[in-house]
């Protein structure tokens, strides 16, 4: 009986809100501007949250960071460290480890960056979402452990690796500009949605999963438990899609 009563007290302690703990996350937003050449380098190392990148025409970066935590003390501990050089910007998330069994371990940051459209990007995220939009002539290297990677209307060179989640390529309109995607996903789903008039080449492979080819580029061949597809939508394609999934499906979908 004593053991049962002790267990009840322990569970009650876990369910009782800590002093100063908010029911919903507390938030605080900061905004910074940095001068950067149109082809400058940006490195962002992050743990939990979101990274949203938008391309623009000016030689500067607008960095907005929205920090979230359940206590004011924890919110103060979460920091955004920046190191600016004439042709490079480095951004790092600093979330100290919490000690103690009932310590507040909450803490995320959502980043929004407006960057020169030809910037050289390198991003690393453990859990969350990375989205790119409106890049032209840029290069991007992405490492994600768990979450979603989305590229929308990007005429750029993008290389991405992810362990688990979703990887997407979307175009709302088409321009005959050079672009290349090299996506590798260990477990999850890939989607490429492009206008019917898009001029592209695709090399797709799944180790375990199917490939849906809405463009009818060619025969989808079985490859053990997976499938492969190689084809072009038109002569002299300007876009290259390299899509490889270890466990999961790949879908190519035309929009009209």
> What are the pLDDT digits (tens) for 231-253?
999 999 999 999 999 999 999 99
> What are the pLDDT digits (tens) for 101-142?
444 556 789 999 999 999 999 999 999 999 999 999 999 999
Pick the range with the lowest mean pLDDT from 87-96, 121-130, 155-164, 201-210.
87-96
Q: List Cβ neighbours of 238 (8 Å cut-off, separation of 6 or more).
A: 176, 177, 178, 179, 199, 200
pLDDT of residue 98: 60
Of the two residues 56 and 74, the one the predictor is more confident about is: 56
- Supply the mean pLDDT for the chain: 89
Element (H, E) at 7: helix 2-15
pTM of the model: 0.88
Burial of residue 222 (CB within 10 Å: 0-12, 13-18, 19+) is: exposed
pLDDT of residue 77: 87
- Contact predicate 120/40, CB 8 Å: yes
pLDDT of residue 9: 35
With 60 as the cut, is the pLDDT of residue 10 above it?
A: no
Of the two residues 23 and 152, the one the predictor is more confident about is: 152
- Strands 239-247 and 200-208, sheet pairing: parallel
pLDDT of residue 21: 56
DSSP 219: P
């Amino acid at each position: 009986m004593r053991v049962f009563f002790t267990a009840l007290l322990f569970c009650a302690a876990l369910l009782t809100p800590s002093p100063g703990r908010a029911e919903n996350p507390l938030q605080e937003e900061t905004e910074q501007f940095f001068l950067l050449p149109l082809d400058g380098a940006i490195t962002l190392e992050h743990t939990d949250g979101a990274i949203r990148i938008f391309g623009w025409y000016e030689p500067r970066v607008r960095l907005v960071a929205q920090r979230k935590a359940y206590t004011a003390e924890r919110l103060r501990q979460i920091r955004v460290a920046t190191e600016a050089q004439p042709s490079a910007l480095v951004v790092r998330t600093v979330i100290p480890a919490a000690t103690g069994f009932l310590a507040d371990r909450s803490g995320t940051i959502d980043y929004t960056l407006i960057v020169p459209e030809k910037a050289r990007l390198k991003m690393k995220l453990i859990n969350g979402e990375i989205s790119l939009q409106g890049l032209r002539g840029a290069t991007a290297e992405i490492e994600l452990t768990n979450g979603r990677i989305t590229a929308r209307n990007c005429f750029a060179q993008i290389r991405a690796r992810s362990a688990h989640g979703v990887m997407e390529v979307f175009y709302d309109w088409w321009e005959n500009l050079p672009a290349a995607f090299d996506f590798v996903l260990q477990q999850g789903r890939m989607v490429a949605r492009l206008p019917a008039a898009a001029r592209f080449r695709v090399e797709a492979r799944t180790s375990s999963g199917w490939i849906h080819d809405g463009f009818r580029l060619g025969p989808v061949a079985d490859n053990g438990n997976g499938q492969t597809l190689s084809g072009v939508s038109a002569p002299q394609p300007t876009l290259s899609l390299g899509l490889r999934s270890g466990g999961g499906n790949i879908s190519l979908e035309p929009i009209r």
